[in-house]
Amino acid sequence: MTSSSDRPIEDPFASQPPAAPGRRVLLVEDDARIAQDVTEELSLRGFTVVHAATGSAGLELALSGCFDVLVLDRLLPELDGLAVLERLRAASVNTPVLVLSALSAVDDRVGGLKAGGDDYLTKPFAMEELAARLDALLRRPADNPSTRETVLRAGPIEMDLIERSVRRAHRTVDLLPREFRLLEYMVRRPNQVLTRDMLLEDVWHYRFIPQTNLVDVHIGKLRRKIDPPDEIPLIQSIRGAGFMLRVEVD
Amino acid sequence: MRRYLPEMFSTAAFRLALGSSVILAGVTVLQFSLIYWRTTAYEVERADRLLDREAALMAAQTPADLREQMRLWQTNDLRLLITAAGLFDADRKAIAGNLTTWPETLPVDGGIREITVHPSDQGERLIRAEALPVPGGRILVIGRGLRDLQQIRSIVLQALETCLIPALAFSLLAGIWLSRRGLVRVGRMQLAIDRIMEGGLHERLPVRTGPGRDEMERLAVSVNRMLDRLERLLDEIKGVGDDIAHDLRTPLARVRAGLDRTRLRPQQPRELEAGIDRAIIDLDQCFAIITALLRIGEIDNGRRRGGFVPLDLHQIAIDIVELYEPLAEAAGNRLVLEPGDSVPLVGDRDLLIELAANLVDNAIKFTPSGGTVSVSTHSGRDGPVLRVADTGVGIAEKEQQAVLARFYRSDKSRHIPGSGLGLSLVAAIVRLHSARILVSDATRGGDCAGAVFEVIFPRLAADVPI
């Protein structure tokens, strides 16, 4: 789907089924094949996707502010991804943006984040990775005082960030600092798929592909402490994607 | 020889020889001409002086004495100096002397001219002569033949011949020899190059051993060095191609076999699910291999140092040990960080983390349960050093460099999972940082058995000023 100047762009969802609130994605990608795959896959996962094939069409749509998240390819005809991003931010559109790029890691990442991108993914990527990251961007804890609370709760887990203590249903759990950091990250994102790459990036701030199941080992250790055999497991493995802290929502 | 004949004339050596021969001939001819010219001038001047003196003496004599002297002249020594003489009366009739006919072209003015005469006893002769009136109304003609000059000329020409011909012949032969020698060598090199182009990459250009190589051989040595490097690179690429094919074929074959099996028994949903899961795991491994390959290519081709910042190598070691401790623990090993001070270094943080992670990962993987992996850093004499030592199977000496090549896995470890590219990534990152990596066997160091990887970074000051 592309836009042309003679068509109103105020409501790109007019011809579509009602959009799931808060899950509207604008995909700006010139490769038709990738665009189709991503659109289909994300639709299956409950996103509503609008596709623009060029940078200027994408910018026009994005400026309407009707989207909850943007997926922006870097190399685009007419206007390249970073230029779109810069103009968007200059126009005070603060929709979260995930920048896609061909392999050329460090420079691109720095460039993408500097231009105002919120996350970054290199091609080729697994669809689960993209979906999980979009989910994370959509549910990103807003930067308001409530996220600066000193006690985090998720289901039976209670974390005191000042005392650095953890309890699961009144039972105290002793955690090493790195386990504490990992759990804190998960508690802040309950019921959300967290991929191994996301955990390595966000908890440890590393961006490389480990040769071994490094993250699984860390999760395993944490799991043994949080989930005793006789209780309902909270940390669950999501096949093909990563992990999730599954708790009952109040 | 005939084979080279047409080419010979176009060789640089032959053209040079030909050119220098022409110049040599020209200079020689010029030299001899100068000698001849100077000698002739001298001889003519001497003859003229002689004629003037004799003419003056004879003109001063009485007619009778002169006639007597002319008669005597035919027999005395004066004949050697004055080769032609004649006394003529006013009617130009010969009275005495060996000149019997009046030289028509000679004016009677005491001036010296070069004329041709026909003396009675000889054929045509070229002489320098003068005619002057003497007492008694008669005319005296005396002349000196230029035979000496002719002799000098023939001597000079002879000398020129004896000089020039051997010199020319020599330089031409030298040119032929040189060009032929060059052609033979070029021919040999061309043959070698043809064989190389046909795929014989192990072929080298012919080079003499030992000192005293000429420019052509030095060039050949350079070309050979280039060929060495190219051959190594091609071997590497070929090896990589084989390895990629092999390492991708194994999991892909498993995927295919698994899917086949699953399709034959579609009744059990649980089995179906398990089959798909196995296929996904195997495909993920293919994916990991491809991703790692692309990354190595990216690091190698990038050669960019834009992300270089001052950082502390020891802190990286601390972080990595913290990150990998649970993994070592799960494998039943100890991962220890040896205490140390901060080690300043300029580099790409993300890539150095990846480097350290891969070394530690590798060490844990190849250390049997109950072993120890130790990480240490220090500012060495040559620069900052990162050292990862394990108590694992160790690396045979002949494999110590090969482990850094893409996909290489030592024979003892084919069963251990992984893309097989961890150390290749390390090598690429090391290259980007202009560092060196040393692989050795700890057994020689006296410790327990195991491998030691040491990355030695360039010294700070010499590399990038902060």
Highest mean pLDDT among A66-70, A116-120, B195-199: A66-70
Q: Same domain for B389 and B445?
A: yes
**CA of A222: which chain B residue's CA is closest?**
B326
A24-138 maps to CATH 3.40.50.1100: no
Number of domains composing chain B: 2
Among the candidates B299, B332, B362, a domain finishes at: B299
Specify the amino acid at residue B285: Q
How close, in Å, is residue B407 to chain A by CA atoms? 13
| pLDDT attached to residue B412 | 44
Give the nearest partner residue to B277 out of A104, A214, A239, using CB atoms. A239
Please tell me whether the interface predicted TM-score (ipTM) of this complex is above 0.85. Answer: no
| pLDDT attached to residue A20 | 53
Residue A105: list chain B partners with CB under 8 A: 295, 298, 350
Which CATH number fits the domain that encloses residue B432? 3.30.565.10
What is the pLDDT confidence band of residue A243, given thresholds at 50, 70 and 90? very high
| Better pLDDT: B415 or A172 | A172
Cβ distance B396 to B319 under 8 Å? Answer: no
Note whether residue B393 is domain-resident: yes
HEC secondary structure over B54-121: HHHHHHCCCHHHHHHHHHHHCCCCHHHHCCEEEEECCCCCEEEECCCCCCCCCCCCCCEEEEEECCCC
Decide if pLDDT at A188 tops 50. yes
Q: Same domain for B334 and B281?
A: no
Q: Same domain for B325 and B287?
A: no
| pLDDT attached to residue B357 | 92
Decide if pLDDT at A242 tops 50. yes
Q: Same domain for B387 and B256?
A: no
HEC secondary structure over chain A: CCCCCCCCCCCCCCCCCCCCCCCEEEEECCCHHHHHHHHHHHHHCCCEEEEECCHHHHHHHHHCCCCCEEEEECCCCCCCHHHHHHHHHHCCCCCCEEEEECCCHHHHHHHHHHCCCCEEEECCCCHHHHHHHHHHHHCCCCCCHHHHCCEEEECCEEEECCCCEEEECCEEECCCHHHHHHHHHHHCCCCCCEEHHHHHHHHCCCCCCCCCCHHHHHHHHHHHHHCCCCCCCCEEEECCCEEEECCCCC
Which one of B348, B350, B388 makes the best mutation probe of the A interface by having the most chain A beta carbons within 10 Å?
B350
| pLDDT attached to residue A7 | 44
Note whether residue B398 is domain-resident: yes
* Percentage of chain A modeled with pLDDT above 70: 82
Residue A107: list chain B partners with CB under 8 A: 304, 306-307
Note whether residue B340 is domain-resident: yes
A151-245 and A24-138 share a CATH fold: no
Residue-wise pLDDT for B288-310, tens only, equals: 777 777 777 777 776 556 678 89
Q: Same domain for B324 and B376?
A: yes
Q: Same domain for B246 and B349?
A: no
Residue B323: list chain A partners with CB under 8 A: 178, 204, 206, 214
| pLDDT attached to residue A186 | 93
Q: Quick check: B407 contacting A, CB < 8 Å?
A: no
Residue A126: list chain B partners with CB under 8 A: 287
Q: Same domain for B256 and B355?
A: no
Q: Same domain for B249 and B370?
A: no
Q: Same domain for B249 and B340?
A: no
Note whether residue B62 is domain-resident: no
Note whether residue B401 is domain-resident: yes
Query: Under CATH, which number does the domain A151-245 receive?
Result: 1.10.10.10
Among the candidates B278, B299, B320, a domain finishes at: B299
Q: Same domain for B399 and B272?
A: no
What is the pLDDT confidence band of residue A180, given thresholds at 50, 70 and 90? very high
Q: Quick check: B301 contacting A, CB < 8 Å?
A: no
Select from B175, B166, B174 the least CA-distant residue to B9.
B175
Residue-wise pLDDT for A130-155, tens only, equals: 999 998 888 876 555 555 678 888 88
The C-alpha atoms of residue B71 and residue A228 are separated, in whole angstroms, by 158
Per-residue pLDDT tens listing for chain B (466 residues): 455 566 777 788 788 888 888 898 899 889 889 988 998 898 888 888 888 888 888 888 888 888 888 777 777 766 777 788 888 888 888 888 877 788 878 888 888 888 887 765 666 778 888 888 888 788 888 888 877 778 888 888 888 888 888 888 888 888 888 888 888 888 888 898 898 888 888 888 888 776 777 888 888 889 888 888 888 878 777 766 776 777 788 788 888 888 888 888 766 778 788 888 888 888 877 877 777 777 777 777 765 566 788 999 999 999 999 999 999 998 899 999 999 899 999 988 888 998 999 999 988 988 888 889 999 999 988 889 999 998 877 777 666 666 666 555 444 444 445 566 778 788 888 888 888 888 887 655 445 568 888 999 998 754 444 4
How close, in Å, is residue A42 to chain B by CA atoms? 20
Q: Quick check: A176 contacting B, CB < 8 Å?
A: no
- Rounded to two decimals, the pTM is 0.61
Cβ distance of A103 and B298 shorter than 8 Å:
yes
Q: Same domain for B450 and B316?
A: yes
| Better pLDDT: B11 or A61 | A61
Q: Quick check: B291 contacting A, CB < 8 Å?
A: yes
Q: What is the domain extent for residue B358?
A: 308-456
Q: Same domain for B260 and B347?
A: no
| pLDDT attached to residue A39 | 93
Give the nearest partner residue to B357 out of A106, A208, A218, using CB atoms. A208
Note whether residue B162 is domain-resident: no
Give the nearest partner residue to A208 out of B277, B350, B418, using CB atoms. B350
Note whether residue B279 is domain-resident: yes
Cβ distance of B306 and A106 shorter than 8 Å:
yes
Q: Quick check: B168 contacting A, CB < 8 Å?
A: no
Note whether residue B318 is domain-resident: yes
Residue B348: list chain A partners with CB under 8 A: 106
